[in-house]
A and B are shown apart, each in its own frame.
Chain A
Amino acid sequence: MTDTAVSGAAIKQHLIDPEICIRCNTCEATCPVGAVTHDDNNYVVDASKCNFCLDCISPCPTGSIDNWRVVRAAWSIEDQFGWNELPAQEEIEGADDAAADADEDDVGKLLASAHAGVGGKAVAPASAARPSINLFRRDRPAMATVQGNFRITADGAESDVRHVVLSFGATQFLVLEGQSVGVAPPGARADGRPHDIRLYSIASARDGEKRNGNNIGLTIKRVPGGLASNYMCDLRVGDTVAVTGPFGATFLMPDDTRANIVMICTGTGSAPFRAFTERRRRAMRNAAGKLVMFFGARTPEELPYFGPLQKVPASLLDKHLVYSRVSGAEKEYVQDRIRAEGAKMGELLADANTHIFICGLKGMEAGVEEALADVCRKHGMDWSRLKPDMRAGGRYHVETY
């Protein structure tokens, strides 16, 4: 190893796995700063040139490009040319904390996958408060008591979505709007290992479901046959739940009255936006920035929080509730409404104070992005350029499952 890196300080180095790479040259052709090069043996990344823009990650057909090591001194390109396999991670304190969203490995992966749609390194809004992360781990969770469990879709509706309120009692559980908590259903898998942790977005503001209540609200959809969702949806008042977290360091509410916040969601993806709206209502009532929501469901009966949303004044929240399965009406998806509101959206996208948040199922991402791209075209902007700008400035956020 050479000593090109700053001595003493550990750095994160981008590497390519020579056992998986097929030498297709895609990364080298993609890299905007010429950091990728090759010899007859390997494709390698020059640590002195790589600026972590991540442009090379998604075009790589093999996944070999997505490798990282925390090192005290960067491996030179000559070192890397000679490799037949990647070196193991050295034991360096903090090396495992490389993922900033969470330091429990499985949760980190869940969040990384949920945020993948942002298309690069997710960045928190510049104005966001500093989050606490991972205060409670699996081996020492926070014990919460169920204070309420309410169905928030119509009684006859196929989809059973619930608002579950958990109180932490005397335990301080600090959260920000946009963060998630983890819950593992009790019991163990067939192989004896504990069940995987599921993440749920917090649907309440930082000061509690009830102001200063040290409690949180969660939005949970019952999935037929789903272990965790049925456990959560069946909770009764007084039951105890082991909670880990909080998690999430980038999908956070901008703490700025000038910020326009465009919230695009389906189903339980509305949870963080309920939190955002509540925070604005409580703490920034006369904010200059707009809150705009595009919320899609099959029918009004299946739209979580339909009733409470009717009571939110238009001066606080510009809501667009759209439905894809109302008989007699044309199908409408969130992307259709975004296009229909093109004039307003064009103005918002051109404004440097605007933040976009997308939350819901993975399937919605492409359609929403296409709609944003169309709005951009009509207003003399290029989404493929605007998006990386917004992302880098902490103004574009995706959390989809």
Chain B
Amino acid sequence: MNGSAAYVEGAVDYTTKIPNNVNLAEDGRVLKALEQWHPGYIDWWMSMGPEGFQASEVYLRTAVSIDPKGWAKFGHVKMPEYRWGVLLAPQEEGRLVNFGAHKGEKAWQEVPGEYRAMLRRLLVIQGDTEPASVEQQRHLGKTAPSLYDMRNLFQVNVEEGRHLWAMVYLLQKYFGKDGREEAEGLLERRSGDVDKPRMLGAFNEATPDWLSFYMFTFFTDRDGKMQLESLAQSGFDPLSRTCRFMLTEEAHHMFVGETGVGRVIERTCEAMKAAGIEDPFDIARIRALGVIDLPTLQKKANLHFSLSLDLFGSEVSTNAANFFNSGLKGRFMETKIDDDHRLTSAVYPVLKFIDGEIRMVDEPALTALNMRLRDDYVKDCQGGVNRWNKLIEKAGVRFALSLPSVAFNRHIGEFAGVEASPDGKLLTAAQWAKMRDQWLPSSGDGEFIASLMTPCWERGEYARWVSPPKVGVDNKPGDFDYVRIHAG
């Protein structure tokens, strides 16, 4: 390769098969491991990636360098030819471990021996979600409501693919044989497969339609954002740098979700107004217009919000405490929090189920870290819901979406064993069974949404249940050919 040439820290290398800024060319062991993993990845992509569009040319954004101006290059690309690479944010000189027992030490460039197992587990759990969502979304292209949406879906998919690469690089670089085996495992598990499911529940649920996709990218990918943001604080510097770069890509997924649901809302309100329908609960008439009524959107939000809350794990968790104490995983925006960043004596209020009632209880802050991250998540979700409500208000419709109680429809943590209404009241099993379909999508709701999912692939055209976006991707005009469809 270029053994004799000067090597510049941080510059992206395109001479290897895998674009990277981690000097793979001179790291023969890892380069070989990645090159051996590569065909399996492509096999996985071809068999589990977007179905029916592998030969289409998609207007994708590719990172060609890590500086702000170089990482968003747009062009028509066939997805299997996308340049998946290993890109880390630039190394900050003198960066320290910013929290936990090692606070103030120099950030680690190698894995501390005593934390190997813990760190490997964190990487595998994060890594497993990336291919899982691609698998969940693989059939959606066929019913895309526009070329614009189709392009956004595929952008999300290739970036999830790149996030898998990012985690696999860390596993192969720092965990030797174990890491290589874990990397293989990431290609072997399958979303929704009873024998070899993905590791986390929400990633084994189906994403059957585009409203589910928008909700998933808003609610479930936002969990990913919170996890990445916490891992970006890590004292293990390569993990921190990886996650910082991934966060910029994750922001695009938030965008697809928030604007996707927003556009559904706009279209529904517009159609209601045009038809002179004032009552948002006049569901049959609204559905007859071929748009999705707001109460059904509320049910979908209830479902995806509650499934995503489960991803944060138990409210009180010694694992979370260990991750923090060992300096591996921080809190959301750790360095902006004004406290001692060790939390050895602090407490944090946790919502618990005690003696038959839901109560706030102070717990040691260290073990309550999952709860804290979940609180930050709920706040972030609420911001988006508020903006959706502004759209409804602007359209002059009397309706407001809201987030259900964190006790609603839970399967993990404090409220796994109880039934609660969206406003947080405890229910008997019979009461729950009676009301369930008022709060969560019923099979009838699912059938109605499915009936709207007919493809709309003309340039500049949108399915009638969703509004066009306000701005095109990369400032492109409305009738831009975001995807040039070729069979394959």
A binds B: yes
Q: Which residues of A are interface residues toward B (Cβ below 8 A)?
A: 19-20, 22-26, 29-30, 40, 54-59, 61-64, 66, 84, 113, 116, 119-120, 362-363, 365-366, 369-371, 373-374, 376-385, 387-388
A22 is contacted by which of B6, B244, B258 (Cβ under 8 Å)?
B258
A365 to B8, CA, bound (A): 22
Q: How far is the CB of A52 from the nearest CB of chain B, in Å? A: 13
Tell me, yes or no, whether B254 is within 8 Å of chain A by CB.
yes
Chain A residues with Cβ below 8 Å from B8 are 376-377, 380-382
A139 to B301, CA, bound (A): 53
Contact A374 B13 (CB under 8 A): yes
Contact A24 B254 (CB under 8 A): yes
Contact B255 A62 (CB under 8 A): yes
A40 is contacted by which of B15, B72, B383 (Cβ under 8 Å)?
B383
A377 to B390, CA, bound (A): 50
A166 to B67, CA, bound (A): 43
A19, A54, A62: which has the most chain B beta carbons within 10 Å? A62
Give the residue name and chain of the A residue nearest to B473 (CB): A63
Contact A366 B62 (CB under 8 A): yes
Give the residue name and chain of the B residue nearest to A377 (CB): B11
Contact A61 B252 (CB under 8 A): yes
Chain B residues with Cβ below 8 Å from A56 are 68
Q: How far is the CB of A178 from the nearest CB of chain B, in Å? A: 22
A371 to B14, CA, bound (A): 8
Chain A residues with Cβ below 8 Å from B2 are 377-378
Contact A383 B475 (CB under 8 A): no
Chain B residues with Cβ below 8 Å from A363 are 75-76
B62, B67, B244, B258: which has the most chain A beta carbons within 10 Å? B67
A58 to B65, CA, bound (A): 12
Chain B 12-24 per-residue mask, 1 if CB under 8 angstroms from chain A, else 0: 1111000100000
Which 3 interchain pairs have the tightest Cβ spacing? A380-B6, A119-B69, A24-B251
Chain B residues with Cβ below 8 Å from A383 are 11-12, 65
Contact B64 A22 (CB under 8 A): no
B65 is contacted by which of A84, A379, A384 (Cβ under 8 Å)?
A384
Contact A384 B384 (CB under 8 A): no
Chain B residues with Cβ below 8 Å from A25 are 251
Q: How far is the CB of A32 from the nearest CB of chain B, in Å? A: 8
A28 to B394, CA, bound (A): 28
Chain B residues with Cβ below 8 Å from A20 are 259, 470-471
Chain A residues with Cβ below 8 Å from B72 are 58-59
Contact A387 B76 (CB under 8 A): no
Q: A54-B69, A387-B69 are in contact. Are A24 and B383 (CB under 8 A)?
A: no
A366 is contacted by which of B5, B75, B384, B390 (Cβ under 8 Å)?
B75
Chain B residues 217 to 240 lying within 8 A of chain A, measured CB to CB, are 225
Chain A residues with Cβ below 8 Å from B10 are 382, 384
Give the residue name and chain of the A residue nearest to B155 (CB): A61
Contact B73 A62 (CB under 8 A): no
B69 is contacted by which of A120, A370, A382 (Cβ under 8 Å)?
A120
Contact A366 B251 (CB under 8 A): no
A57 to B475, CA, bound (A): 11
A385 to B70, CA, bound (A): 10
Q: How far is the CB of B459 from the nearest CB of chain A, in Å? A: 15
A24 to B19, CA, bound (A): 27
